[in-house]
């Protein structure tokens, strides 16, 4: 029997990537915040009571990292209260939950890839609320997968790839930070991994890390984009200090994917290979 799946936050890039892969073959109901406000406990309860789901993929999140510093209340409502509401309804109606989290739960002080068991220590409001959301889910619901990811991009929405493509058309030169290290993640690869969990009805619940394989700085990421697209823009390698932002960024947030690869039997693509595929998809559109 094909499982019935709820995707919250379907207007975001991950939700749209799941929809791209779905092609109408899966039994998925997609909802955005106007159709289901996950911060409204009663609305969530009624929605789950009315619709009998087997799985919920929570793509809904407050992801404006800098804005979260001055709008903590909204970030908390979505990332903590919203996650809690979903977990409670999932528990009541026996729904398995896949919840998407972030590398921002770490402080970036490490010099080796972060494992799922490593100590968390967010350095900003966004990371704080995402970690609190993880903890609420873990307290309430056993049947959950929390998947931390990093540097998400795709053909959809606003993201680093699309910003770089736009700037390469508008500018002669550009400075990009070279001292923040992580891994770009193609949202379509993450979507495939999530659907793999559901389609195989996996039950090794807990926290997992998923990003593409390899290591890069934001400068490396931008350079790869411009190399692949044969852009003539001049790219300058700058420091975090030269590009201050309201929210601090982890200097190092590479995620260790060993547990994910072994448990789910997944081959995770190298970041540059996925970037080439994403850029080709944008060209085809």
State the pTM of this model: 0.97
The answer to whether residue 223 sits within a structural domain is no
Is position 126 annotated as part of the catalytic site? yes
In a domain, 274, yes or no: no
Q: In 3D, which of 135, 141, 147, 139 has the Cα closest to residue 103?
A: 147
Residues 46-62, mean pLDDT to the nearest whole number: 96
Residue 25 pLDDT: 75
23 pLDDT higher than 90: no
Identify whether 222 is part of a domain: no
CATH code: domain of residue 72: 3.40.50.720
Q: What does the chain come to in residues?
A: 285
Residue of 30, 62, 114, 126 with catalytic role? 126
What is d(CA 142, CA 267) in angstroms, rounded to the nearest whole number?
26
**76-87, pLDDT tens digit by residue?**
999 999 999 999
90, part of any domain = yes
Instruction: State how far the Cα of 114 lies from the Cα of 252, in Å rounded to an integer.
Output: 9
User: Residue 177 — very low, low, confident or very high, per pLDDT cuts 50/70/90?
Assistant: very high
Residues 6+ apart with CB under 8 A from 244: none
The answer, yes or no, to whether residue 11 has pLDDT greater than 90, is: yes
Q: Which residue segment(s) compose the domain that 199 sits in? A: 4-158+185-213+256-269
- 144: which 2 tokens? 């959950």
The answer to whether residue 265 is domain-embedded is: yes
β-sheet bridge partners, residue 98: 57, 145
Q: Domain count of the chain? A: 1
pLDDT, tens digit (0-9, with 9 covering 90-100), for 112-122: 999 999 999 99
- 35: in domain: yes
User: Bridge-partner residues for 208, per DSSP?
Assistant: 147
* 62 is a domain residue: yes
Q: Is the pLDDT of residue 1 over 80?
A: no
Assess if residue 31 is contained within a domain. Answer: yes
């Amino acid at each position: 029997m094909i499982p019935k799946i709820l995707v919250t936050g379907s207007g975001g890039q991950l939700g749209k990537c799941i929809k791209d892969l779905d092609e109408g073959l899966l039994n998925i109901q997609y909802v955005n915040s106007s159709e289901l406000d996950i911060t409204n406990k009663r609305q969530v309860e009624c929605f789950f009571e009315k619709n009998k789901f087997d799985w919920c993929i929570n793509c809904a999140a407050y992801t404006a990292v800098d804005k979260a510093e001055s709008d903590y209340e909204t970030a908390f409502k979505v990332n903590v209260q919203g996650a809690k509401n979903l977990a409670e309804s999932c528990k009541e109606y026996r729904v398995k939950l896949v919840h998407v989290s972030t590398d921002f739960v770490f402080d970036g002080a490490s010099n080796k890839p972060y494992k799922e068991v490593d100590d968390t220590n967010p350095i900003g409001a966004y990371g704080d609320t995402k970690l609190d959301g993880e903890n609420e889910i873990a307290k309430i619901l056993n049947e959950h997968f929390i998947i931390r990811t990093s540097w998400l991009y795709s053909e959809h929405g606003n993201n680093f790839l699309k910003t770089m493509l736009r700037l390469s058309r508008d500018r002669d030169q550009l400075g990009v930070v070279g001292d923040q290290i992580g891994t770009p993640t193609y949202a379509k690869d993450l979507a495939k991994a999530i659907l793999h969990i559901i389609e195989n009805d996996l039950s090794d619940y807990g926290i997992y890390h998923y990003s593409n394989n390899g290591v890069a700085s934001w400068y490396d990421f931008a350079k790869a984009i411009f190399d692949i697209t044969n852009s003539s823009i001049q790219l300058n390698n700058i420091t975090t200090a030269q590009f201050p932002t309201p929210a601090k960024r982890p200097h190092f947030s590479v995620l260790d994917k060993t547990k994910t690869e072994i448990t789910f039997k997944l081959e995770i693509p190298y970041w540059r290979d996925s970037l080439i595929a994403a850029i080709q998809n944008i060209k085809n559109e």
